[in-house]
């Protein structure tokens, strides 16, 4: 659709695609200026621009749902003929909508949550900067530009994690005084921000190495250019560099999405304001890794269809995803800080997405796994953002991050209670009515039917993780809303604090997302069907990936067409077992979990290992913080300060002084000694001549 305006011809679609990410940056630029005059106004500007950005994204939806795409480029670094551009294909448009609308809701939430904060201007600046960078990742048409957004979200994440940079005690995470392997498990916001930035940077340098490798052979960073002429891949493959390059790129995704082994930063990231955790560390930024994989996977799969094998790439994704899903899920079961539980859960759920994207590339039916991964991304973004915002409300009201300081809140906060249940059911995968159920089920189905030799063990891990997920979600809900009120709350009430519902601007956003979780869940199967069809067309049209027609299974009733019965049974029973166990311990409170854990040394041992984060965090610190610092100190003391400084500098100085003194010492002024030396010298010369 071309429109002419003021003599310029431009594509309306392309213009919206540019605007999606430019608008938030514009807002970020003007907000500090506005903040000088009115802090209050900055919030309106931020929400307004977030809305406009989301609307631009929405305007592209009709086009994307037809599986069309807009690709617009401008010249950027002319001297090496690089172009900047936007690529609005179905993948990026849907993602841009998820990001845009969830950010918009979270911005509304923030107006309530951050009310009265002294540094509110800085908050809005970084939030808008974040949204712009995130949309830049989503809409870029080349890797270099993606990297700009990539580091931009990292920077925003760093700044927002450390938002409360005064390091007050209440803003820390972890338990004060608790140590693991001799290192404190208690982090200040500024420490946490730094940790997040540096740890993700490790992934980023891998990503940049991968990018540069591809650029070296292909001469372009563009996604479409890479696809159209695949001779670079043949060359790389023949040199054995193709798979390493993509695995390095995946390294960036591992860092950003907090996957094993770069997962430890996400927990401490919870020092940021909860709105930040909801937006950056649950709904959007941590999905950037998944998005990157979704950008690259069809390309790699199309290459393997052309005979260039890259199975190891998908195998790595699969293994990393499965490990993370289980590892972080387990830790979610024992933690007592509500945001940390949600953070563990986020990492674990992203592990699911990675897992299924990996399996997609290893099976014949690429589109199944691809759709399942994206569907889960969408549904997780909704319910996890909702849960985080609700948790923020709880923190706001209760003033403590520990669930043990809550309890029995269902009467005081009815709306939050209801919405948290709805979103929580999504996370647990409550059958037939939640998006979480359908997306998880499609993941199970994709894994089970992949036909890969590892399918069964991976399937087992996936189901086990689902049980764990249902369990810790129930535990969280039980600890917060059920049972009797904690001492902390009793004390608050005695002091005259009335425990009340959060304000309207706060509960409406998470209410909307919770309702959506159920609403889309009710039509979940057809939603998934639509997504499946769209991606089938997209993958076929753009990448030439054909899907094999499946033989429908007829055991199940009509409305469950396309569902694998084994997967269905697995997800139903996972929900039942996990929720049941959770109910027994935390809602019905028929058994005391503390007694149960302490009942024998085996359970308490496992509990301790999980609570100590499998010692991974401590090991990372010992190896990459303590040891290098120790080494640097040693080199500084014993090399820089001695060999270099003393040896070269003072040494030369002393040597010169010393030799001067020696020479000076010979000038005694005593004639006898001069004559003696003269005679000795003469004798020496004569002797030499004689020999």
Partner 1 sequence: MEYALLQAVILPLLLSPIAYIIGRKIGPTPAMWFTFGLLLYVTVLVILSALSGTTAEHYPWTAQFGEFGFLLDGLASPFAIIIYVLSTILVLYSKPYMIHRFHEQYEEERHEVVSSNGHSTIIESSSLSNYVNAKSGLYFALYLVFAMGMLGTVLSTNLIEFYVFFEIMLIPGFFLVALWGAGPRRKIGLMFLLWTHAGAVVLLLGFLMIGLTIGSFNFADIKESEIPHDILMLSAIAISIGLGVKLAVFMFHIWLPWVHGAAPTPISALLSPAMIGIGAYGIFRLIVEFLPHTFADLSIWFHIWGLVTMIYGGAMALMQDDIKRLLAYSSISQMGYILFGIGSMSVLGLSGAEMMYITHALGKGILFMMAGILIVKVGTRNISQLGGLAGKMPITAVCAVIGALTIMGVPPTSGFMGEWTLFYGALETAIKDGSTVRAVTFGLGLVATVLTMSYILWMLKRVFFGKLPQHLEHVKEGSWYMTAPMMVLAGFTIVLGIYPDIFFNQIIPYMSGVLGV
- Region near partner 1 per CB under 8 A, out of 192-200, 302-310, 521-529, 581-589: 192-200
Q: Residue 426 contacts by C-beta under 8 Å, 6 or more apart in sequence? A: 379, 382, 383, 434, 435, 436, 437, 514, 517, 518, 521
Contact letters for partner 1, residues 344-383 (x by CB under 8 A): ----------------------------------------
The correct pick among 113, 138, 185, 191 for binding partner 1 (CB under 8 A) is 191
> Any contact of residue 208 with partner 1 (CB under 8 A)?
yes
Report in angstroms how near the CB of residue 629 gets to partner 1 at its nearest.
Answer: 7
Q: Is the distance from CB of 373 to CB of 294 less than 8 angstroms?
A: yes
> Any contact of residue 148 with partner 1 (CB under 8 A)?
yes
- Region near partner 1 per CB under 8 A, out of 159-167, 280-288, 328-336, 527-535: 159-167
Q: Is the distance from CB of 104 to CB of 88 less than 8 angstroms?
A: no
How far apart are the C-alpha atoms of 524 and 469, rounded to whole Å? 20
- Region near partner 1 per CB under 8 A, out of 337-345, 351-359, 623-631, 664-672: 623-631
Question: Which conformational region is residue 24 in: left (phi greater than 0), alpha (psi within -120 to 50 degrees), or beta?
Answer: alpha
How far apart are the C-alpha atoms of 313 and 244, rounded to whole Å? 8
Closest CA to 89 of 134, 42, 141, 135: 141
Pick 154 or 351: Cβ nearer partner 1: 154
The correct pick among 151, 264, 268, 315 for binding partner 1 (CB under 8 A) is 151
- Region near partner 1 per CB under 8 A, out of 195-203, 273-281, 397-405, 560-568: 195-203
> Any contact of residue 26 with partner 1 (CB under 8 A)?
no
Output b/e per residue, 555-570; b: 16+ Cβ within 10 A.
eeeeeeeebbeebbeb
Enumerate residues 212-241 that contact partner 1 by CB under 8 A: 212-213, 215-216, 239, 241
The correct pick among 1, 44, 166, 309 for binding partner 1 (CB under 8 A) is 166
> Any contact of residue 632 with partner 1 (CB under 8 A)?
yes
> Any contact of residue 280 with partner 1 (CB under 8 A)?
no
Closest CA to 536 of 311, 353, 369: 369
- Region near partner 1 per CB under 8 A, out of 12-20, 47-55, 143-151, 579-587: 143-151
Instruction: Provide the H-helix boundaries in 306-337.
Output: 311-332
Instruction: Provide the H-helix boundaries in 482-564.
Output: 487-494, 504-522, 524-538
- Region near partner 1 per CB under 8 A, out of 57-65, 196-204, 439-447, 453-461: 196-204
Q: Is the distance from CB of 390 to CB of 416 less than 8 angstroms?
A: yes
How far apart are the C-alpha atoms of 499 and 497, rounded to whole Å? 6
Report in angstroms how near the CB of residue 686 gets to partner 1 at its nearest.
Answer: 39
> Any contact of residue 638 with partner 1 (CB under 8 A)?
no
Q: Is the distance from CB of 347 to CB of 324 less than 8 angstroms?
A: yes
The correct pick among 2, 5, 6, 80 for binding partner 1 (CB under 8 A) is 80
| DSSP single-letter state for residue 336 | -
3-state SS, one letter per residue, for 38-52: CHHHHHHHHHHHHHH
The correct pick among 24, 85, 154, 174 for binding partner 1 (CB under 8 A) is 154
> Any contact of residue 147 with partner 1 (CB under 8 A)?
yes
How far apart are the C-alpha atoms of 339 and 439, rounded to whole Å? 23
Q: Is the distance from CB of 303 to CB of 233 less than 8 angstroms?
A: yes
Report in angstroms how near the CB of residue 42 gets to partner 1 at its nearest.
Answer: 15
> Any contact of residue 633 with partner 1 (CB under 8 A)?
yes
Provide φ and ψ at 336, rounded to 5°: -105, -5
Enumerate residues 549-588 that contact partner 1 by CB under 8 A: none
Residues that bind partner 1 (CB under 8 A): 77-80, 144, 147-148, 151-152, 154-155, 162, 165-167, 188, 190-191, 194, 197-198, 201-202, 205-206, 208-209, 212-213, 215-216, 239, 241, 628-629, 631-633, 635-636, 640, 644-645, 648-649
């Amino acid at each position: 659709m071309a429109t002419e305006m003021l003599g310029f011809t431009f594509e309306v679609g392309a213009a919206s695609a540019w605007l999606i990410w430019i608008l938030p940056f514009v807002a970020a630029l003007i907000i500090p200026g506005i903040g000088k005059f009115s802090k209050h106004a900055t919030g309106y500007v931020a929400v307004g621009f977030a809305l406009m950005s989301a609307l631009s994204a929405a305007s592209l939806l009709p086009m994307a749902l037809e599986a069309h795409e807009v690709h617009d480029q401008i010249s950027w670094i002319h001297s090496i003929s690089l172009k900047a551009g936007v690529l609005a294909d179905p993948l990026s448009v849907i993602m841009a909508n998820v990001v845009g609308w969830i950010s918009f809701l979270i911005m509304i939430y923030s107006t309530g949550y951050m009310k009265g904060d002294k540094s509110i201007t800085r908050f809005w600046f970084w939030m808008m900067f974040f949204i712009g960078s995130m949309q830049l990742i989503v809409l870029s048409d080349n890797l270099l530009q993606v990297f700009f957004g990539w580091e931009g979200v990292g920077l925003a994440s760093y700044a927002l994690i450390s938002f409360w940079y005064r390091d007050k005690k209440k803003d820390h995470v972890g338990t004060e005084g608790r140590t693991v392997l001799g290192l404190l498990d208690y982090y200040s916001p500024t420490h946490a921000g730094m940790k997040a930035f540096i740890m993700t940077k490790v992934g980023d340098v891998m990503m940049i190495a991968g990018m540069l490798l591809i650029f070296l052979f292909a001469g372009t960073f563009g996604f479409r250019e890479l696809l159209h002429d695949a001779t670079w891949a043949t060359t790389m493959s023949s040199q054995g560099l193709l798979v390493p390059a993509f695995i390095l790129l995946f390294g960036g995704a591992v860092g950003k999405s907090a996957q094993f082994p770069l997962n430890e930063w996400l927990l401490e990231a919870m020092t940021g304001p909860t709105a930040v955790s909801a937006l950056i560390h649950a709904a959007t930024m941590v999905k950037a890794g998944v998005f990157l994989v979704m950008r690259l996977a069809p390309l790699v799969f199309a290459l393997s269809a052309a005979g260039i094998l890259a199975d190891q790439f998908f195998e790595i994704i699969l293994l990393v995803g499965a490990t993370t899903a289980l590892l972080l899920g387990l830790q979610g079961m024992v933690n007592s800080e509500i945001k940390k539980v949600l953070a563990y859960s986020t990492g674990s759920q992203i592990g699911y997405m990675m897992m299924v994207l990996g399996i997609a590339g290893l099976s014949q039916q690429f589109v199944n796994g691809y759709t399942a991964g994206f569907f889960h991304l969408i549904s997780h973004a909704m319910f996890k953002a909702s849960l985080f915002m609700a948790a923020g409300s709880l923190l706001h009201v209760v003033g403590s991050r520990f669930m043990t300081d809550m309890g029995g809140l269902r009467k005081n906060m009815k709306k939050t209670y209801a919405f948290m249940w709805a979103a929580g059911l999504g996370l647990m995968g409550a059958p037939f009515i939640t998006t979480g159920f359908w997306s998880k089920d499609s993941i199970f189905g994709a894994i089970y039917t992949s036909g890969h030799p590892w399918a069964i063990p991976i399937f087992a891990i996936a189901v086990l993780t689902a049980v764990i997920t249902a369990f810790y979600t129930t535990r969280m809900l039980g600890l917060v809303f059920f049972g009797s009120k904690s001492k902390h709350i009793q004390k608050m009430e005695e002091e005259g604090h009335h425990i009340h519902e959060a304000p309207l601007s706060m509960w409406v956003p998470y209410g909307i997302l919770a309702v959506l979780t159920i609403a889309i869940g009710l039509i979940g199967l057809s939603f998934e069907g639509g997504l499946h069809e769209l991606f089938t067309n997209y993958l076929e049209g753009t990448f030439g990936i054909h899907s094999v027609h499946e033989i429908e299974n007829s055991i199940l009733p009509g409305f469950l067409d396309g569902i694998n019965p084994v997967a269905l049974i697995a997800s139903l029973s996972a929900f039942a077992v996990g929720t049941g166990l959770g109910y027994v311990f935390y809602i019905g409170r028929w058994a005391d979990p503390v007694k149960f854990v302490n009942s024998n040394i085996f359970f308490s041992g496992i509990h301790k290992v999980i609570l100590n984060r499998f010692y991974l965090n401590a090991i990372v610190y010992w190896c990459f913080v303590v040891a290098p610092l120790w080494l640097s100190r040693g080199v500084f003391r014993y090399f820089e300060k001695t060999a270099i400084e003393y040896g070269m500098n003072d040494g030369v100085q002393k040597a010169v002084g010393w030799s001067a003194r020696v020479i000076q010492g010979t000038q005694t002024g005593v004639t006898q000694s001069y004559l003696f030396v003269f005679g000795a010298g003469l004798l020496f010369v004569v002797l030499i001549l004689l020999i």
